């Protein structure tokens, strides 16, 4: 079964293909929130990673990280802010974004254009793994506050 069968039917899933729908890959977007009071993440004050558990039957890959609705300017001096995806023991083991540019503009990083780099553990996350998403502050003032969205592709 392939995604091609569905795309050639203009989005309509034939009855004979429904039993195979669980075999198709799917994407999930998570919003990283620091707490219930602050909308988004304070890169200078985030002291714990956002943790998700991947499905027990699917591998995963981080394909996109969005930085949106910047309410505090990113201003780096020596190092820039970034987002790192790891497994708890290696903070950027699976992937990490390019540097977040100074300013207040929204930004998007994707695996397709190479602005998300694979980590030392490889970019493929194994089924049933604990995944950490960490907002890494740059060295500057202010450090930046923004909403952070991470999209993972789940597949067999």
Q: Domains of the chain by range and CATH?
A: 25-155 (2.60.120)
pLDDT given for residue 47 in this prediction: 66
Stretch (H or E) spanning 4: helix 3-7
pLDDT given for residue 2 in this prediction: 47
What gap in Å lies between CA 67 and CA 47, rounded to an integer?
Answer: 18
Q: Is the peptide bond before 78 cis (omega within 30 degrees of 0)?
A: no
What gap in Å lies between CA 80 and CA 38, rounded to an integer?
Answer: 22
Give, in order, the Cα–Cα distances in Å from 39 to each of 31, 32, 114, 147: 10, 9, 28, 7
First and final CA of the chain: distance in angstroms?
Answer: 12
Q: What is the pLDDT along the chain (156 residues), one digit of tens a residue?
A: 444 545 555 667 777 778 888 888 999 999 998 776 677 899 988 667 899 999 999 999 999 999 999 999 999 899 999 999 999 899 999 999 999 999 999 999 999 999 999 999 999 999 999 999 999 999 988 999 999 999 999 999
């Amino acid at each position: 079964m392939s995604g091609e069968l569905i795309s050639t039917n203009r989005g309509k899933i034939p009855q004979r293909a429904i039993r195979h729908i669980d075999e198709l890959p799917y994407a999930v977007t998570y919003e990283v929130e620091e707490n219930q009071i602050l909308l988004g993440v304070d890169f200078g004050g985030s002291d714990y990673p956002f943790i998700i558990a991947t499905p027990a039957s699917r591998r995963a890959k981080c394909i996109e990280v969005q930085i949106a609705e910047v309410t505090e300017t990113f201003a780096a001096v020596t190092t820039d802010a970034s987002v790192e995806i790891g497994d708890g023991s290696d903070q950027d083991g699976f992937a990490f974004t390019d540097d977040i540019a100074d300013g207040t503009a929204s930004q998007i990083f994707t695996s397709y254009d190479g602005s998300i780099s694979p980590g030392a553990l490889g970019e493929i996350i194994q089924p049933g793994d604990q995944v950490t998403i960490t907002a890494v502050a740059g060295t500057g003032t202010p450090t930046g506050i923004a909403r952070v969205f991470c999209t993972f592709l789940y597949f067999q």
